[in-house]
Amino acid sequence: MQNNNGEEKSNLKWWILLTVIVGTFLGRLDQTIVNLALPKIINDFGITVSAAGWIATAYILANAVFVPIWGKLGDTLGRKKIYILGFTIFIFGSVLAGLSWNLGSLIVFRIIQAIAGSADYPTAMAIIAVTFKEGKERAQALGIWSSSFAAAAVFGPLIGGPLIDNFGWRSVFLVNLPVGIVGLLMAMAFVHESRSEVKTRYFDWWGALTLGGALSALVLVLDRGFDWGWLSVSSLICYFAIVSLLGLFIRIEGRVAEPIVDLKFFKIPAFVNALLNNFIVFMGMMGAIFLIPIFAQTFLGYTATESGYLFMPLAAAFMISSPIGGALMGKVEARYVIFASTLVASIGIFFLSYLDPRSSALDIIIPMSIMAFGLGFGMAQRTNIVASVVDQHEIGIASSILALVRNIAGAFGIAIFGTILNNVTLSNILSINSHSTLSRFDPQNVQTYIGLVILKAQVSAYSYIFLLASIFVFVGSFVALFLRVKERIGVTVHIEA
């Protein structure tokens, strides 16, 4: 009888893991597909590309602001309750987005989606952490869960393209309804309620408001700063808001009894080093990856769909290596796995610096697959460290900080490397032109000359960015060597059957 009960509990664990994978997959899939639908939305609503950018910006802003709030609420009110609530609102927001009638309504409904979708990461990670309590098994589960991010990147173009072409852009939102209902029913059936035994008497609203304001200003200036100008009035206002609100937030968190972000986390060296390694990795990775579709379409003549297919082997490599990283738990010290993971990723990014207009698809696929494989086998270890060094009743908020750091790192990477790319391109044009001569000044030769100068300047700039990103990630790999993890046994987590 005991064996049967043990087997049932073991099987239930994996059903719980599958349930949160469905939710995570759906949320990430939505982001991927919506990006593919933007051209159709622009045509349908008769808006500019710049205006359409607010569809993504609004989502990123709302998502960043609410991640810590959901993490805290999940720890205190119950992770299953918050997970189901977020999932339900996400489905509702998706249907509304599919029925939107203009840009304004779509942005509002995307914000609803983002607020709800931000509940997934901290609650899903916390549910996994309290379900799989043994270190090695938990790392394996987190590795498998992490692979759902890559799976969404694979299926995004495969599902999104046909949906948009055959049923219009609204279908990419409406498809969330049937899939979401399945995921919701699974959550109700399999996930047990878990929450901290530390009773919350006061919710840190002032901390949430000041942190939300600071994050909004930060994400906004990172996303729009290049268009505005980094020293424009709008950007300067954002910088002032970030500094003032963040300072106010730190003062509030140091005084309240139950802060939304416990600053004592940042006194744990392993926690801080894990966040720093994650920031470096995601900043370098996103700073490099977002350029690949642009390069493929601009210089290699690929269509948007063909560019999307380039990422399929990358996602497959990530999916293969993530469980491998989990299996290494207990066999190899986490810091060495993360170090090797980050080092391999930097090598993959470095090979991208050799791209030129004569490159083949394999010249992109192989380096990106190396990078993804490296990132994959260290992902579970990076995630598990955050769950291991904090008390169990604070896993939700700790994981929300991790999600926040990764999102901000990606925004930093895209903003900074994008700006550097443009500046280096302009510098290269001036340099190449000053060292070049044109023998015949007829209009055709002049036009050809200008085109070649710009082409060489742009290609050289891309090579420079990939090289810079690889060096950044390479240096970041050594941060992992300072990670020393010792699991802490915190307050017992209350589990309801």
Q: Is the pLDDT of residue 468 over 80?
A: yes
Q: Is the pLDDT of residue 240 over 90?
A: yes
Residue identified by tokens 């607010």 is 54
For residues 291-304, one letter each, b for 16 or more C-beta atoms within 10 angstroms of the residue's C-beta and e for the rest, the string is bbbebbeebbebee
Q: Are residues 279 and 420 in the same domain?
A: yes
Q: List, in sequence order, every residue forming a beta bridge with 495; answer none if it has no partner.
A: 194
Do residues 307 and 342 both lie within one domain?
yes
Q: What is residue 366's predicted lDDT score, i.e. its pLDDT?
A: 93
Give percent above pLDDT 70 in the chain. Answer: 82
Q: Are the CB atoms for 153 and 311 separated by under 8 Å? A: yes
pLDDT value of residue 367: 92
Q: Which residue has the tokens 């043994």?
A: 134
* 301 DSSP assignment: -
Which has more confidence, 446 or 266?
A: 266
Half-sphere exposure of 346 (CA within 13 A, CB side): 20
More confident call, 369 vs 326: 369
Q: How far is CA 343 from CA 259, 354, 482, in A?
A: 36, 18, 15
Arithmetic mean of pLDDT over the chain: 78
Q: Nearest CA to 146 among 398, 391, 310, 382?
A: 382
Q: Mean pLDDT across the stretch 236-252?
A: 89
Do residues 320 and 399 share a domain? yes
Q: Are residues 33 and 175 in the same domain?
A: yes
State residue 103's pLDDT score.
Answer: 83
DSSP string computed for 444-493: HHHHHHHHHHHHHHHHHHHHHHHHHHHHHHHHHHGGGGG--------SPE
State the Cα–Cα distance between residues 380 and 402, nearest whole angstrom.
13
Q: pLDDT at position 136, please?
A: 67
Residues 231 and 350 in one domain: no
* Model pLDDT, residue 383: 74
Please compute the mean of the pLDDT values over residues 227-248 and round it to a whole number.
Answer: 88
For residue 330, the domain's CATH number is: 1.20.1250.20
Cα Rg of the chain, angstroms: 23
Are 84 and 412 in contact by the 8 Å Cβ rule? The answer is: no
- Is the pLDDT reported for residue 497 higher than 50? no
Flag whether pLDDT at 96 surpasses 80.
yes
Residue 244 confidence class, pLDDT cut points 50, 70, 90: very high
Is the model's pLDDT at 454 over the cut of 80? no
C-alpha–C-alpha distance, residues 7 and 299, integer Å = 55
Is 324:376 a contact under the CB 8 Å cutoff?
A: yes
| pLDDT average, residue stretch 258-271 | 77
Q: Which whole number is the average pLDDT over 133-151?
A: 71
Q: Is residue 197 helix, strand or coil?
A: coil
The token pair that represents 152 in the structure block: 């969404």
**SS3 sequence, 312-377?**
HHHHHHHHHHHHHHHHCCCCCCHHHHHHHHHHHHHHHHHHHHHCCCCCCHHHHHHHHHHHHHHHHH
Query: If you count them, how many residues does the chain have?
Result: 497
Residue 496: pLDDT band with limits 50, 70, 90: very low
CA distance 471 to 463: 12
Tens-digit pLDDT profile for residues 330-378: 778 878 888 899 999 999 999 999 988 888 889 999 998 999 888 888 8
| Better-scored residue on pLDDT, 49 or 98 | 98
CB 234 within 8 A of CB 228: yes
* pLDDT score for 197: 58
Q: Are residues 251 and 308 in the same domain?
A: no
| Residue 247 belongs to domain spanning | 204-257
Highest mean pLDDT (candidates 122-126, 349-353, 441-445): 349-353
Q: For residues 249 and 133, state if they share a domain.
A: no
pLDDT for the residue 291: 79
Residue 111 pLDDT > 90, yes or no?
no
Cβ of 99: how many Cβ atoms within 10 Å? Answer: 13
CA 299/CA 364 separation, integer angstroms: 13
Indicate the pLDDT class of residue 446, thresholds 50, 70 and 90. Answer: low
> How confident is the model at residue 490, as a pLDDT?
38
Average pLDDT over residues 112-122: 82
- Tokens found for residue 376: 């994959």
Q: Is the pLDDT of residue 52 over 60?
A: yes
What distance lies between CA 50 and its chain's CA centroid? 22
Residue 395's nearest CA partner among 380, 383, 405, 411 is 383
Residues 215 and 281 in one domain: no
Q: Which residues contact 104 (CB under 8 A, 6 or more apart)?
A: none
Contact 75, 397 (CB under 8 A): yes
Q: Are 144 and 322 in contact (CB under 8 A)?
A: yes
Listed residues 199, 227, 248: the one ending a domain? 199
Tell me the β-bridge partners of 196: 493
CA angle 380, 276, 265 (to 5 degrees): 85
Number of domains composing the chain? 3
Instruction: Based on the fold, state whether residues 188 and 298 are members of the same structural domain.
Output: no
Choose between 322 and 321: higher pLDDT: 321
Q: Which of 189-198, 246-255, 421-430 has the lowest mean pLDDT?
A: 189-198
Whether the per-residue pLDDT at 201 is higher than 70: the answer is no
H or E element that contains 54: helix 49-77
Which residue's entry shows tokens 């050809």? 448
Residue 452 shares a structural domain with residue 489: yes
pLDDT-wise least confident of 164-168, 176-180, 276-280, 483-487 = 483-487
> Are 269 and 406 within one domain?
yes
Cα–Cα distance, 153 to 315 (Å, whole number): 6
Beta bridge partners of 445: none
pLDDT at residue 87, as a whole number: 86
- The contacts of residue 48 (CB under 8 Å, 6+ apart) are 42
Residue 328 has what pLDDT?
A: 77
pLDDT of residue 237: 92
pLDDT at 24: 80
Q: Are residues 23 and 98 in the same domain?
A: yes
